[in-house]
Structure formats: structure tokens, C-alpha cells
Chains A and B, each alone.
Chain A
Amino acid sequence: MSLSRSPSPVPGGGWASPGLNIPSGRSSPTRGVTGSNGTPVMWESSRLKRGGSAGYPSFSTKNEGFFGRHMRRLSRSLPRFSTSPYYADKEKLGRGRWPIHNVPLLGRIRGIVGRMGRRMKIRLMVLLMILLSIFTFYNTPMVYHWRRTTWLGGGQKFVIILGANVGGGVMEWKGAREWAIERDSVRNKKKYVARWGYDLEIVDMSTKKRYAHEWRESWEKVDFIRTALRKYPKAEWIWWLDLNTFVMEPSYSLQDHIFDNLEKHIYRDINEYNPLNITHPLTDQYLDDDERSPVGDGNANSVNLILSQDCSGFNLGSFFIRRSTWTDRLLDIWWDPVAYEQKHMEWEHKEQDALEQLYISQPWIRKHTGFLPQRMINSFPTGACAEGGKNPRIHYDEKDRDFLVSMAGCEWGRDCWGEMYNFRELSYYLNRTWWERFKEDFLAMIWFKLTGQKVKF
């Protein structure tokens, strides 16, 4: 075929396609195809275009329309019948097909884009940008790094210390349940940390005799916090978590949940909830105004220790401590042999009671300590603090979607693993995706109504 345009029916001329019956080996257009009647053939459309001036060749070298521009490319992509004896029948499978993939991809895309309107192009571009942004932000590690960076998400400012291996080591063999608890708890924290770009430090709480002359059991917390502060120089807040805790709502970030609005969430006047009946504020004449005021200096930036109180006082199952010179001092003072010697018989909860003692007697500690309502960081299952029945200040309520559950004291006569398992399942259930909800709440329900059978999709 030697023509660059297909023969088309013209109103007056019938199916005049004179070039077709000329067996021409040329691929370049001939100048002036001579028709059977001896006059140069003129297609109707081209005649109209040229203002009816006959006598010139009918084809045009200008880019006119899609076909004109892409003739060459299309014809190249058509199946070819090779007449060469060498290649005959070599590729039987491919014969007669349209090997569209022979056109380079780039060329094809360029072709599609070239045929598009300008407005369409812009629209598509915007759509593409949005999709690309969503992809890069949510499906690549970018969101992680964004959340981690100190000046963007600020995740690097938070380090979670998880006290694992409680009472293990030399004291006790760990059974299957203990391992399961540890595995679940650690996985839960790891997921949470990976989601928000925090750091996780799992520490070994197995009782060791660290100091030759003293048995400083459960004061290791102090050493671990110090080590973590050294290990993560960008960390501002350390969040201590006991092993028997479970982050129920991994979608809450610490910033959102607590630290962006610290003033609103914390209370510094312990009289708001005071199970220990601590006299507050201090009234001694020799103290500063800050130390005699019930709320310290009232600025949330001066809070260096944030903890919660359960039914019997301070609870150190989940608490925050901030990098500061104040913290260095507290960690230094926290364990003191003279205090320990006098009090170790009374101090059932060791470092927790020691902190209460310090809070009561030391004004400088009091003015930098803040409290969070317990259920913000440390909800209890109904088994803990069970004396007064279910207490809305203390106990977990799934309707409120409490952030964290701490199975405090479950190792004394309660079923740690059972509680952990239940809360884990509850957390999964509460945090199902919309697709899971659709399947389980809607489809399965319909199926149940129809057939009376419970199914799982």
C-alpha cells in the first residue's frame, strides 16, 4: 500500500481507489498517482481543502489528523508476512497477531498524551499528583520518617521503655503463659512504636544483684531511664510501661492524646484526686511561692514527671518522665540508703512508695510533678482496685476507648494471660477496618438472618 490516506467514499466519485491495484514496492508516496482515466486522482476531501485547485498531488505532508500523523506507526505495527525463506514459519505462534507491544511504551504514552486536550491534561496531572502524594506518604516509609522527625511529627522525642522479663531470670522459670504475655505485650508496643515513629527500649527486669552491698530490687527503673536518656539523645519524654500493659488504641499518638494539650489534661493540684490524703499545698513559711502554690508555677512546661493515681496512690505502671536536670536529680535522689533503711519494711512497692515519700517531703519534687487522670494512660481492668466495684475513674471502659490498659497486680492471684488475651482481642475488635466491619457486621449478619448460620468471611 502506497497511499498515506485510506480511500474513502466520496459523494460523487464512488469507491475510487486507484492506487490499490498498483503493485508498488515503494513506501514513499508517489507524486501524482495517475488514475485509469489519465487525470491525477483527487480525493474529494482534499479537493475541498485546497479550494478545488486540481492538478496537484492529492496527499499532503502536513500533519493532518490522527491518521495522517500515525499512519507510519500503525502500519509498522501491523502483522507482517515475511516472504523471506529463512524466517518462514519460525514463529508460528506470533503469526497473525497484533503485536501491539512492539510499539515502545513511551511512544504509546506520548501518543495518548498528544491526543489529549489541554484541560484534560491538567486534570489528569492533578489527579496523578494526588495519587502519588497519597502513595508516597502512606505506602512508603515516608510517613514513618515524617512522624519521627523532631520538627515535623516529633516522634523521636518519645521513647517507650518496656520492662520485660519481670521476676524472670534467676528467681523463677518462665512458663508458657509468661512467654505468651511477654510476646503479646512486646508485639503490641512494637507495632505502636512503628506506627508513630517513637523508639522502644525493652529492658530486662530480671532480679539481679546489681550492687554487692545492697539489694536494690525494682529500683532498676532508675538505671534504665538513665541509660535510655543517654542512648536516645533526642528523646524528650520517656514513657515507662510495665509488661502487663496493652495499648488498646494504637491510633492515638502521644502528641495528640496528651502532649499537644498538656495544660488541659494534667492536674497538678493533687487535691483533685487524693487517695493518700497528702496535705497539699505546703504551707511552710520558708518556701517559695511556687512551692507553696497548689499548681507549682502553673506552666505546663515545668512539668517533668507525669503519672497517674489509682485507688491506693501513685501508680508507676505507666508514667512519663522528661529529660531535664530536675530528672537527673530525682533519679539520683530516688534511691537513698538512709531512707531505704528506715522504710524498707513499710515500702511494699519500693520505688513507688519511695516516690510518694519524696513527693510528700520534697517541695522541689512536688512543684514539677503533674498527674493525669488514670484512664488517660493507665486504665485498670475490673480485677484491679476491685474493692469499690467498677469505678469510672479507674476502670477501663470500652465505650470511651481508653488508651492503655494496665493489668496491675494480676500476678497476685489473677489470670494475667487471660486478661491480656481478652484485651488484645477487644482491641482488635474495636480497631477493625471498615472492610472488616462491613464483612462482619453487615454481610455476616445478613447471612445469619437468611440462613441462620454464623459465617466468617
Chain B
Amino acid sequence: MHLPYPPRKASNPAPYLPRSSPLPGLRRTRLKLIALVALAFITLIYLVSRPSNKHADSVQWKPSGKPPVVLVTVLDEKKYGKGYLQTIVENRIQYAEKHGYEAFFAKVGDYDLKGAPASWTAVVAVRHALTKFPDCHYVWYLEQNAFVMNPELKIEDHVMQPSRLEELMKKDFPVVPPDSIIRTFSHVKGQEIDLVITQDKAGLSVGSFIVRNSDWARFFLETWFDPLYRSYNFQKAETHALEHIVQWHPTILAKMAIVDQNIINSYSKGAKGAQYKNGDLVVRFSDCSTAGKAQECETESQPFATKWRKAFANS
């Protein structure tokens, strides 16, 4: 339908120009003023508010990973023959060189243990390695009577990768066999783990363990090395001290993962723990060292020595 007239103009036209902006108060000069006032206000708030001081934990220092792994071994030169120790040192150095690791050797008697059994040297040696290589990611302690058998495996990939670790670690698992009340936590994540250790038939096995370089590692090692533990006459010295602190102190238990022995701690004989299979990273001659007969270790290690030399030469 057509309208007869065009739409009417307003009969009272606006006397002024229409508004240029929806808010007439916001002219440019006003905007400046508002900005200034806002700035002053924010400054005031900034001045009266307290700076939140950085939490001590938040500024934790991160190691750069040079070298990625330090392989620690404590040598007992008084008890064992030179040739045998030489083989062990070569084994460690070759493995370390292959992956860009460092091998760190300590000798029994290097540290003042204040009358504690010589086996405690291992704990201090690992602590010393952390001091000496503050940029390393992991410290792997492997006791003297053992060989690295598989040169291909890297610690970072084979064990310490968080996803890999989550597959490996035994959750809700009694810390001391067969059935201690204290069990490993079932909800820990791979990246939270700072200590990887194994368990043989007698209990935790301290012949081979990996510690991640962290604040916690220092705390753990220093606590483990406490003079009151050393003087307590634990039957198995540092092994039992470790079992003790792991079971009594949840801050330690929460960072520990127990993995299968075959991962880092296979035994040459299957009587006391998992027996060595081809392809395992490590073989340990655990019987001979507890028996304390140096000669036995050397003979037991002979076949493995030729084997690792061959494996390393091939790789």
C-alpha cells in the first residue's frame, strides 16, 4: 500500500547537533584525565600493596643435564685385586663414554665414616657426585661387583622417562618383602619420582639405584647418612637404614619407585633375586660380596667380563 505522503519530519527539529558519541562526557581531554586518574589509582594500590615474596620453592634451580648421568662406583682397593678392579673401571668408563655420561669412582676410606661400616661409603659417594656434577640429571650408583652388560640402554630412556617409569614402578607394593604394612604409594606420577630402586628377596637392594638430581636427593642422602643411623648397628648397615627411613618417613617413600630387578639390578645367580637374562642392563655378583671373598667374585665375573667386552665392541 502506498502512503499518500512521505513520512513526516519531526515537527520540532533538534536545536543542536546530535551527539557525536554515545557518552557525551567522554571527550578527548576528559579521557586523558580519566586515564591519569586511573593510573594514579593503580600506582597508589601498587604502593600500598605488599610485594608477594617469591616462595623459596618456586625458585628451585634446574640442572642443565651436563652430563646427563653420573655413574658412581665405590672401589675397595684393599680387598680386591688390581686386575679385577681394572675391568670394572673399564666397564664403567666405556659405558659412560658411549652415552656421554660421567663415571665417578670413590674409594673406600675416602670419607670419614666415624667408625661406621665401610659400605656406608656408597651413600656419601653419591652425595659427593651430586656436588661434583651439579648439572647432571641423574646419579646412578652401581656397586663395584657388577658389570654393565648392555651398552645400548640409556638410563634416561630405559628407566627414568616418566611414562616409562609409570609402567615400571610397582604401586601399592610392600616395601619390605614379603608383606610389610608400609606399601609404596599408588597415586604417584612418573615425574615425581626421585629415587628408583629395586627389591630382591631379602628387601631393598642398594647395590644399584638411581637418584634424580634435586633438592630432595640431597635431603634424602644426607638423612640416610645421619650419624645416628650409622651408629645404630643396623644388621645390614645402610641397607637397613634405608628400609627404616623409607618406612618411617613418607616424604621419602613418596619419591621412591620400586622397579623390577631386571631393569637395573639383575643377579648373576637366581637364589636371592631375579637372575640375569640376556639383554639386561646390569649383572651383579651379589653372593660373592656378601660372602666377602674377593677371589670368588673374580671367578664369578669372568664369563660376564668376556661377554660385556664383546657386547661393547660390537655396539
Binding site for B on A (CB under 8 A): 150-154, 236, 255, 284-288, 291, 301-304, 322, 324-326, 328-329, 332-333, 336-339, 342-343, 357, 361-364, 368
Q: What is the minimal beta-carbon distance from A232 to any residue of chain B, in angstroms? A: 16
Residue of B nearest to A340 (CB): B228
- Residue contact B222 to A364, C-beta cutoff 8 Å: yes
Cα–Cα, bound, A421→B52 (Å) = 39
Q: What is the minimal beta-carbon distance from A376 to any residue of chain B, in angstroms? A: 19
A324-B56, A357-B228 given; name 17 further pairs at CB < 8 Å: A151-B52, A152-B49, A153-B50, A255-B50, A285-B128, A324-B55, A326-B56, A326-B219, A332-B252, A338-B229, A338-B232, A338-B244, A339-B226, A342-B228, A343-B228, A362-B226, A363-B218
Known: A329-B251, A361-B226. A151 touches B57 (CB 8 A): no
Contact with A along B189-219 (1 / 0, CB 8 A): 0000000000000000000000000011011
B100 at the interface (CB under 8 A from A): no
Cα–Cα, bound, A328→B215 (Å) = 13
Cα–Cα, bound, A383→B153 (Å) = 68
- Residue contact B57 to A324, C-beta cutoff 8 Å: yes
Cα–Cα, bound, A326→B53 (Å) = 17
- Residue contact B57 to A286, C-beta cutoff 8 Å: no
| Partner among B52, B228, B250, B251 whose Cβ is within 8 Å of the Cβ of A339 | B228
- Residue contact A286 to B251, C-beta cutoff 8 Å: no
Residue of B nearest to A362 (CB): B222
B92 at the interface (CB under 8 A from A): no
On chain B, the residues within 8 Å of A285 by CB distance are: 111, 128
- Residue contact A342 to B232, C-beta cutoff 8 Å: yes
- Residue contact A152 to B48, C-beta cutoff 8 Å: yes
- Residue contact A333 to B127, C-beta cutoff 8 Å: no
Known: A288-B218, A301-B54. A337 touches B248 (CB 8 A): yes
B124 at the interface (CB under 8 A from A): yes
On chain B, the residues within 8 Å of A154 by CB distance are: 50
- Residue contact B55 to A328, C-beta cutoff 8 Å: no
- Residue contact A286 to B231, C-beta cutoff 8 Å: no
B223 at the interface (CB under 8 A from A): yes
Contact with A along B232-252 (1 / 0, CB 8 A): 100000000000110011111
Cα–Cα, bound, A163→B57 (Å) = 28
On chain B, the residues within 8 Å of A287 by CB distance are: 127, 131
Q: What is the minimal beta-carbon distance from A26 to any residue of chain B, in angstroms? A: 38
Binding site for A on B (CB under 8 A): 48-50, 52-57, 59, 111-112, 124-125, 127-128, 130-131, 134, 215-216, 218-219, 222-223, 226-229, 231-232, 244-245, 248-252
On chain B, the residues within 8 Å of A152 by CB distance are: 48-50
Q: What is the minimal beta-carbon distance from B195 to any residue of chain A, in angstroms? A: 14
| Partner among A286, A322, A324 whose Cβ is within 8 Å of the Cβ of B124 | A286
Cα–Cα, bound, A65→B128 (Å) = 96
On chain B, the residues within 8 Å of A255 by CB distance are: 50
Q: Offer 17 A-B interface pairs, CB within 8 angstroms, sorted by A.
A: A151-B50, A151-B52, A152-B48, A287-B131, A324-B57, A326-B57, A332-B249, A333-B223, A336-B248, A337-B248, A338-B228, A338-B232, A361-B227, A362-B226, A363-B218, A364-B218, A364-B223
Known: A285-B128, A364-B219. A151 touches B228 (CB 8 A): no
Q: What is the minimal beta-carbon distance from B265 to any residue of chain A, in angstroms? A: 24
Q: What is the minimal beta-carbon distance from A29 to any residue of chain B, in angstroms? A: 34
Cα–Cα, bound, A364→B131 (Å) = 13
Q: What is the minimal beta-carbon distance from A65 to any residue of chain B, in angstroms? A: 33
Cα–Cα, bound, A287→B227 (Å) = 15
| Partner among A236, A303, A325, A361 whose Cβ is within 8 Å of the Cβ of B215 | A325
On chain B, the residues within 8 Å of A363 by CB distance are: 218, 222
On chain B, the residues within 8 Å of A301 by CB distance are: 53-56, 59
On chain A, the residues within 8 Å of B54 by CB distance are: 301
Residue of A nearest to B249 (CB): A332
| Partner among B128, B130, B223 whose Cβ is within 8 Å of the Cβ of A362 | B223
On chain B, the residues within 8 Å of A288 by CB distance are: 130-131, 134, 218
Cα–Cα, bound, A328→B28 (Å) = 57
- Residue contact B223 to A150, C-beta cutoff 8 Å: no
Residue from B57, B128, B216 whose CB has the most chain A CB atoms within 10 Å: B57
Q: What is the minimal beta-carbon distance from B82 to any residue of chain A, in angstroms? A: 26
On chain B, the residues within 8 Å of A357 by CB distance are: 228
Q: What is the minimal beta-carbon distance from A334 to any residue of chain B, in angstroms? A: 10
Known: A337-B248, A339-B228. A151 touches B49 (CB 8 A): yes
Q: What is the minimal beta-carbon distance from B218 to any residue of chain A, in angstroms? A: 6
Q: What is the minimal beta-carbon distance from A102 to any residue of chain B, in angstroms? A: 39
Q: What is the minimal beta-carbon distance from B62 to any residue of chain A, in angstroms? A: 15
Cα–Cα, bound, A263→B214 (Å) = 26
Cα–Cα, bound, A301→B58 (Å) = 11
- Residue contact A328 to B251, C-beta cutoff 8 Å: yes
On chain A, the residues within 8 Å of B222 by CB distance are: 362-364
Known: A151-B49, A324-B57, A338-B229. A332 touches B244 (CB 8 A): no
- Residue contact A325 to B57, C-beta cutoff 8 Å: yes
On chain B, the residues within 8 Å of A329 by CB distance are: 216, 219, 251
Cα–Cα, bound, A151→B59 (Å) = 20
Cα–Cα, bound, A338→B247 (Å) = 12
Cα–Cα, bound, A304→B49 (Å) = 23
- Residue contact B52 to A333, C-beta cutoff 8 Å: no
Cα–Cα, bound, A342→B252 (Å) = 22
Known: A333-B223, A337-B248. A286 touches B111 (CB 8 A): yes
Cα–Cα, bound, A286→B122 (Å) = 12
- Residue contact B228 to A332, C-beta cutoff 8 Å: no
Residue of A nearest to B129 (CB): A286
Cα–Cα, bound, A236→B57 (Å) = 12
On chain A, the residues within 8 Å of B55 by CB distance are: 236, 301, 324
Known: A152-B50, A154-B50, A286-B127. A302 touches B228 (CB 8 A): no
Cα–Cα, bound, A332→B253 (Å) = 11
A-B complex: 7 closest residue pairs judged by Cβ atoms: A286-B128, A332-B251, A339-B228, A151-B49, A364-B219, A332-B249, A154-B50
Cα–Cα, bound, A304→B252 (Å) = 19
On chain B, the residues within 8 Å of A328 by CB distance are: 251
Cα–Cα, bound, A287→B127 (Å) = 7
Cα–Cα, bound, A368→B60 (Å) = 14
Residue of B nearest to A367 (CB): B218
Residue of B nearest to A361 (CB): B227
- Residue contact A302 to B56, C-beta cutoff 8 Å: yes
On chain A, the residues within 8 Å of B245 by CB distance are: 336
Q: What is the minimal beta-carbon distance from A225 to any residue of chain B, in angstroms? A: 14
- Residue contact B228 to A286, C-beta cutoff 8 Å: no
Cα–Cα, bound, A304→B56 (Å) = 8
